[in-house]
A and B are shown apart, each in its own frame.
Chain A
Amino acid sequence: MSKSYRLWGRRSQFATLKSALLKRDLKLTPEASVAALKNVSFVIDRGEAFAIIGRNGSGKSTLLKIISGILKPTSGIVRVNGRIAALIELGAGFHPEITGRENIVINGIMLGLSRREIENRFDAIVEFSGIGEFIDQPVKTYSSGMYVRLGFAVAVHVDPEILLIDEVLAVGDEEFSQKCIAKIQEMKYRGVTLLFVTHQLDQARNLCDRALWLDHGAAAAIGDPARVVDDYLQAVSGGQPPTAVPAVDSGGPLSSTSKDSEEERWGSGEVILKRVVVADDKGRELVALGAGSAVAIEMDVEVRVPQDDFVFGVGIYHADGTCVYGTNTDLEGLMPQHLDADGRVRFVMPSLDLVAGTYRVDAAVHTRNGRAFDYRRGVLRFVVGSRVHDIGVYRPKHQWRFEGGIAFREIDNLKRNVPASIAEAMQSTEKKKK
């Protein structure tokens, strides 16, 4: 799908009026046109969270407007299946002279709700917006934060199947911002398809399943958000197109193909993670771990070009894709001093409090603004075994204590296999795990 905007000059305006009056011809001929989107084509699945990133003027908002139906594509088609709500600008339909209450009704109707539906959601909307008693004041008296909060509150209560969001999360204070993100995550969980335009790249990385990087109206990269964001950062910091990752004297850039089919790897290659393993406290490499054991993620680092801005990070993911934990040296307040020779980084966990299952590890070394030297997604997998059939991903250290007239008989289930039929019963009788 493509989109070009026509440019209207002063001369064409005059020609327009003249031709309209003299030739009775309302056909307008623009002086020139500018291509805002060039052959952008993609499919977003139901329930997916999709980020659109790129520089200012790269066509992100145009793309959202076309998807929402506000603009028509110059060529190509857009097919949308489902009720769509577009947050191009929060509170776009508000009229300053009438009250918040009246504006909620009108805004809701504009977004496709019926009067009755709005009445049912009214309290929830006011509650979410935190406007309180000001709801009966004209909107012109609101602060810009209140305005935006009310706009967001209405939009998320429309219950769309597809939600388009254009950089609106940047507004509002920290508290409301958190609330918005929580709400968006909730919507994602309920299966709402989300499309974001954002400049907050960590949002794209954390909230989205896939990302699209638009560069001068063309799709420069599409796929895994961490990867696309990284390509984008590489290009922004280096000024190079994404395909030409800067070559390094000692060894070329890292290829994205992986030796092992599970791994994805990218980065500039100035610093590389030669070997990433999970090891026990004696340094032995492990694949299967016992829940609660002491382990470390070890990274052997090869420095090809010395750096003074660097961050090491690890992420642990459950097999279903849930992020169990992620952190990096920068987040934990470690200031980089020097990285000028090969070495080893160990991420030590005294107790691996995970529930039984398969886990995937991401390891990365990158600059503090996120430009990757070496990003290894899914670099290794490990399995956590446990005799207790508890559920979830995280097992907090815990005990069962009973007081009064409640008692259990302890079965020694630690040394034998638990039949599935009574697993549930045993799970609840289990007192303590060593």
Chain B
Amino acid sequence: MNELATLYRYRQLLAALTARDLKARYRGSILGFFWSLANPLLLLAVYTVVFTIFFPQQVIPSYPLFLFAGILPWTFFSAAVLESTNSISSNAGLIKKVMFPAETLPLVVVLSHLVHFALALPVLFAAMGIYAYFGKATIPPTAVFVPFLMLLQTIFVAGIVMVVSSASVLLRDLRDIIANLMQLGFFITPIIYLIDRIPSRPLRALLRLNPMTPFVVSYQDVLFFGHLPGLADTLLIVFYALVSVMLGITVFDRLRDTLAEAI
């Protein structure tokens, strides 16, 4: 609760730093903000070409759309967590020289990746529109639930990021550990496949233990399959979001006082 009050007090700072982050990223480049659209656009184009021309026999129709619906939330998660490992140490000047609420730094990373995620969604909808024009898919009305999923996922990512960013100040190896875990994570999350199609039952159970699984599956539900997420997935999402944010606040509070010294 205390943490939320702090965040509210520093909301302008969060907003200003996020804007700074986004501005600074593209300042001086000719295409500027277009680059945050270019990446998902290119990705979608590549998937479309690969899975309609090279591997046309797909069990899932309009496979690129399915892929894209899962890849966007995954990228949000993995990029934010990975980048947050540096968020505090790369702002050592602030932590050491300014009375500064350190948690804003990892949260700014989350928010700026959330913006990228949000900017990529229109690309997905445009692609759906094109598929729909050719009668191969429809834009599901359940897509209106995406903001709710994004809210819960942002809370979930924020909690993880608070743990990771503060712990990696003390454990520099964490960045490399996480970079490798993320590569593994991409494959143990049902992004490129459907979890129900996996023949091995224990493996399915194992994949369900991955906290990102219910998130990605729910996005696919509302963005691709056009139905609401299952009750189990919904409860899991809420559960993971709450646990993650509580863990994040606890760990960050414990490490907060050592940050300015250990950095």
Is residue B227 contacting chain A, with contact meaning CB distance below 8 A? no
**Does B173 sit within 8 A of A, measured CB to CB?**
yes
A98 to B17, CA, bound (A): 11
Q: Which stretch in A101-109, A180-188, A322-330, A391-399 binds the other chain?
A: A101-109
Mark the stretch among A87-95, A205-213, A382-390 that contacts chain B.
Answer: A87-95
Q: How far is the CB of B19 from chain A (nearest CB, A)?
A: 8
Is B151 in contact with chain A by the CB < 8 A criterion?
Answer: no
A389 to B221, CA, bound (A): 90
In the bound complex, CA of A109 to CA of B94 (Å): 13
Instruction: Specify which chain B residues have a CB less than 8 angstroms from the CB of A308 in the assembled complex.
Output: none
Is A89 a contact of B260 with CB atoms below 8 Å? Answer: no
B27 lies within 8 A of A97 (CB)? yes
A335 within 8 A of B: no
| Distance of A86 Cα from B28 Cα, bound (Å) | 32
Of the stretches B50-58, B97-105, B186-194, the one at the interface is: B97-105
A residues in contact with B196, CB < 8 Å: none
Q: Are A93 and B93 in contact (CB under 8 A)?
A: yes
Asked if residues A69 and B99 are in contact (CB atoms below 8 Å), the reply is yes
Complexed CA–CA distance, A47 and B98 (Å)? 23
Q: Is A275 an interface residue (CB 8 A)?
A: no
Given contacts A71-B261, A95-B24, contact A106 B97 (CB under 8 A): no
Nearest CB of B to A273, in Å: 45
Known contacts: A8-B262, A70-B260, A86-B98. The answer to whether A98 contacts B93 by CB under 8 A is no
A239 to B262, CA, bound (A): 34
A189 CB–B CB distance under 8 Å: no
One digit per residue, 1 when the CB lies within 8 angstroms of any chain B CB and 0 when it does not, for chain A 1-44 equals 00001101000010011001000001010000000000000000
Contact across chains for A93 and B94 when beta carbons are under 8 A apart = yes
Interface of B is mostly: helix
Taking CB as reference atom, which chain A residue is nearest B93?
A: A92
B13 at the interface (CB under 8 A from A): yes
Residue contact B99 to A16, C-beta cutoff 8 Å: no
**Are B98 and A70 within 8 A (Cβ)?**
yes
Q: Write the nearest CB–CB distance from B201 to chain A, whole angstroms.
A: 30
Asked if B257 contacts A26 (CB within 8 A), the reply is no
CB of A114 within 8 A of chain B? yes
Alpha-carbon gap, A154 to B178, bound state (A): 39
Q: Is the CB of B27 within 8 A of A138?
A: yes
Chain B residue at smallest Cβ distance from A73: B257
The number of chain B residues with a CB under 8 A from chain A is 29
Contact B16 A105 (CB under 8 A): yes
Note all chain A residues with C-beta closer than 8 A to B254: 26
Q: Which residues of A contact B12 (CB under 8 A)?
A: 109, 114-115
- Report the minimum CB–CB distance from A188 to chain B (whole Å): 21
Residue B170 CB within 8 A of the other chain: yes
Query: Given A69-B99, A70-B99, A114-B12, A98–B24 Cβ distance below 8 Å?
Result: yes
**Chain A residues closer than 8 Å to B93, beta-carbon distance:** 89, 92-93
A98 touches B170 (CB 8 A): no
| Contact present for B20 and A98 (CB under 8 Å) | yes
| Any A CB within 8 A of the CB of B136 | no
Decide yes or no whether A268 CB sits under 8 A from chain B. no
Beyond A106-B17, A110-B13, whether A88 also contacts B98 by CB under 8 A is: yes
Judge whether B170 and A110 touch: CB under 8 Å: no
Output the least CB separation between B263 and chain A (Å). 11
- A97-B27, A102-B20, A110-B13 in contact; A92/B261 too (CB < 8 A)? no
Task: Point out the residues of chain B lying under 8 angstroms from A26, CB to CB.
Answer: 167, 170, 251, 254
Tell me if B171 counts as interface (CB < 8 A to partner A): yes
B20–A17 touching, CB < 8 Å: no
Known: A70-B96, A109-B16. 11 other contacts (CB 8 A): A5-B261, A8-B262, A13-B172, A16-B170, A26-B251, A70-B99, A86-B98, A93-B100, A95-B20, A98-B23, A110-B98
Q: Which 3 A-B pairs have the closest CB atoms?
A: A92-B97, A97-B24, A89-B97
Chain A interface residues (CB < 8 Å from chain B): 5-6, 8, 13, 16-17, 20, 26, 28, 65, 68-72, 84, 86, 88-89, 92-93, 95, 97-98, 102, 105-106, 109-111, 114-115, 138
Interchain Cβ contacts under 8 Å between A and B, 18 examples? A6-B261, A16-B170, A17-B171, A68-B99, A70-B95, A70-B98, A70-B260, A88-B97, A92-B93, A92-B97, A93-B93, A98-B20, A102-B20, A109-B13, A109-B16, A110-B100, A114-B12, A115-B12
The interface of chain B, by Cβ under 8 A from chain A, is 12-13, 16-17, 20, 23-24, 27-28, 93-100, 167, 170-173, 251, 254, 257-258, 260-262
